[in-house]
Amino acid sequence: MNFLEWYRVDRLPSIFCAGCGIGTVINCTLSAVTSMGWRRNDVVFLSGIGCSSRAPGYIRTDSLHTTHGRALAFATGVKLAEPRLNVILFTGDGDLAAIGGNHFIHACRRNIDLTVVCVNNYIYGMTGGQGSPTTPVGARSSTTPYGSTETPFDLSELAMAAGANYVSRWTPYHTKELTAAVKAGLETPGLSFIEVMTQCPTGYGRANRLRDVKEFMEIFRMRSMLKQKADRLLKEGKPVPPDAIVIGEFVRRSRPVMGRRG
């Protein structure tokens, strides 16, 4: 089976802008789901509000497109009511870390058996490119026209500290690795968090001279640094460049899990 078979072709082409990375993230997620051998009735997709949260609407399974930031609360309900289901969430950095921040840390703390795929595009895409909790220092957005001065969240670090059993970070440039990471997340009991640093050429790109998707991808290619290398630099007492995007698998462990029978 090919991952394209999961798509609701009647709804394509999608509403996403040309070159937006969300479509790639859906492809990789569905590719991982395909490799698990699951059928339509085994999987439920949930999301909150935002461009990234439109994803479940393109997939031929049951899904819940819920309220802004609250998808994790709905997902907890789904999982506890029907533990047989494999529950996957699509969320954005605003949805997960701003309005939904508390749901996020407590879902990680409880370590509910869910897989959370977060499209971190550094801004609020849907509402016009406002700054989010992950907007990098110096980056422009419609609410930080002179460059953001706040320290952003590192969402993967947050998930690890809060207790998630699986955490990794990739970009849409790393399609094969991202697919493998989602699969590892699906296989790991407990909360799995896959952060995908994603290009938003319209919101973030336009404000930061990255309107051209190829330039955006070049950044993912050039600035990405494998966790192993970052660790080695730190061990040698050398600095990790501040603009490096550290990618790879950060944690895979077996803390007690909620939402699994047996």
Partner 1 sequence: MVKDVPCMRLVIDENRCKGCNLCVLVCPYKIFREGKKPNRKGIVVPELDRPERCPNCRLRQLYGRTICGLCQLICPDQAIDWIGEEPYEHMKVAIEY
Ligand X SMILES: Cc1ncc(C[n+]2csc(CCOP(=O)(O)OP(=O)(O)O)c2C)c(N)n1
Report the interface residues with ligand X, using CB under 6 A: 49-52, 68, 92-95, 99, 119, 121, 123-127, 132
Q: How far is the CB of 103 from ligand X (least distance, A)?
A: 13
**Per-residue burial over 133-170, b = 16 or more CB atoms within 10 Å of its CB, e = otherwise:** bbbbeebbbeebeeebeeebbebbebbbebbbbbbbbb
DSSP secondary structure code for residue 18 in this structure: T
d(CA 11, CA 56): 11
Sign of the C-alpha dihedral, residues 232, 233, 236, 242?
A: negative
Query: Residue 124: beta bridge partners?
Result: 130
- Asked if 165 interacts with ligand SF4 (CB under 6 A), we say no
d(CA 239, CA 228): 14
- Asked if 200 interacts with ligand SF4 (CB under 6 A), we say yes
Q: What x/- string results for residues 55 through 94 when contact with ligand SF4 is judged by CB under 6 A?
A: ----------------------------------------
Which among 207, 212, 25, 53 has a CA at the least distance from the CA of 130?
207
Binding test (CB under 8 A) with partner 1, winner from 172, 185, 190, 205: 172
d(CA 59, CA 53): 12
Q: How far is the CB of 202 from ligand SF4 (least distance, A)?
A: 4
Q: How far is the CB of 160 from ligand SF4 (least distance, A)?
A: 25
Which partner from the list ligand X, ligand SF4, partner 1, none does 132 bind, CB cut-off 5 to 8 Å by kind? Answer: ligand X
**Region 120-149 residues binding ligand SF4, contact defined as CB under 6 A:** 121, 125-126
Q: Which helix (H) or strand (E) is 92 found in, with range?
A: strand 86-92
Q: What x/- string results for residues 17 through 46 when contact with partner 1 is judged by CB under 8 A?
A: xxxxxxxx--xx--x---------------
Considering beta carbons, is residue 200 or 246 the nearer one to ligand SF4?
Answer: 200
Q: Which residues bind partner 1 (CB under 8 A)?
A: 2-4, 7, 12-14, 16-24, 27-28, 31, 172-173, 175-176, 179, 213-214, 217
